[in-house]
Structure 1
Amino acid sequence: MMLTETDNTFGKREHLCKQTLIDQLFSGKAHVMTAWPLKMVYLVVDKTDEQSASVELMVSVSKRFFKRAVKRNRVKRQIREAYRTQKHELMERMAQMPDKQLLLAVIWQDGKLHDSAELNAKMNKNLQRLVEKL
């Protein structure tokens, strides 16, 4: 399946779920970028199988910041939405490295809610920096 310019999906294949990959991401070799309140942890690894997506994303919002699940879920939804609409450049960059896979974790670091426009701007800033570094 080739992504087109209008393909704004964030399907199950793009979710970072495998425990082995998550452990690999947080093993200490990964790189970190921050655009407050988003912290991005990323690692480029060799693709394990051909079916896996070139970029896999995991979103984390700690209970320490929001006790209520409703607020945590709202923030996670905002982050996923911001990523989904702005991932094209990243996908194009990863398409140039067909045997590699990008593991990406977005971690929330603030105790208060932010509006979606601000989150979109921060996500865009982080993704631009990530594309430059790859």
Structure 2
Amino acid sequence: MEQTFARRYRLTKTDEFSSVFGFKRAIRGKWLMLHYQPRPADSLSARLGLVVGKKLLKRAVHRNKVKRIVREQFRLHRHELPLCDLVVRLAARPAPLDGKALAEDFLILLGKLSRPKPRREEK
């Protein structure tokens, strides 16, 4: 199994990010927000895009740390994910920048994504 974070597993173009945000499906965690859009069945794997703005984390060192943590967890769990484009966005400022807590938050979001949603019964 390939364990790299190759270019084919990334969202790189503005249009790709826009289509995921335009699909308007998201799961909120404690610090992260996961936007997602299903991919065609002939796709090879899930893809990841990251948005960490200066508004929440002023220092580039901290923004890069968040990105590294999320990329690593995606890389390790990519084979378990459904075929979809994911955009992870920092939704709240983590008071102490704790790598383990961010990784756990991301894994919880991935778990919610993988679980099928229960259908609502109509009256």
TM-score category of the 2 structures, normalised to the smaller one:
0.7 to 0.9
Task: Report the alpha carbon displacement of residue 76 of structure 1 after superposing the two structures with TM.
Answer: 1.0
The runs of 5 or more residues in structure 1 that have no matched partner are 95-101
Aligned length: 116
Could you say which residue in structure 1 is the equivalent of 2:5? Answer: 10
Q: Distance in 1 between matches of 2:35 and 2:15?
A: 16
Contact 1:31 1:42 in 2 (8 A): yes
Q: Following the alignment from structure 2 to structure 1, what is the Cα–Cα distance between the partners of residues 7 and 32?
A: 22
**Equivalent position of 1:121 in the other structure:** 104
Counterpart position of 2:70: 79
Change beyond 3 A, Cα 1:42–1:53: same
Normalised to the residue count of structure 1, the TM-score between the two structures is: 0.74
Find the counterpart in structure 1 of residue 37 from structure 2. Answer: 43
Q: Secondary structure at the match of 1:43?
A: strand
Instruction: Report the Cα offset of residue 26 of structure 1.
Output: 1.6
Q: Secondary structure at the match of 1:133?
A: coil
* 1:44-88 deviation digits (Å, cap 9, x = unpaired): 1437xx6x6421110111100112211111111111112222223
Identical residues among aligned pairs (%): 29
Q: Partner of 2:93 in structure 1? A: 111
Write out the 4+ residue segments of structure 1 that deviate beyond 4 Å after TM superposition: none
Q: Which runs of 5+ in 2 are unaligned?
A: 118-123
1:67 to 50, 58, 69: 58
Among 86, 94, 115, the residue aligned to 1:132 = 115
Counterpart CA distance in 2 for 1:108 and 1:19 is: 18
Q: Is the 8 A contact 1:82 1:119 kept in 2?
A: no
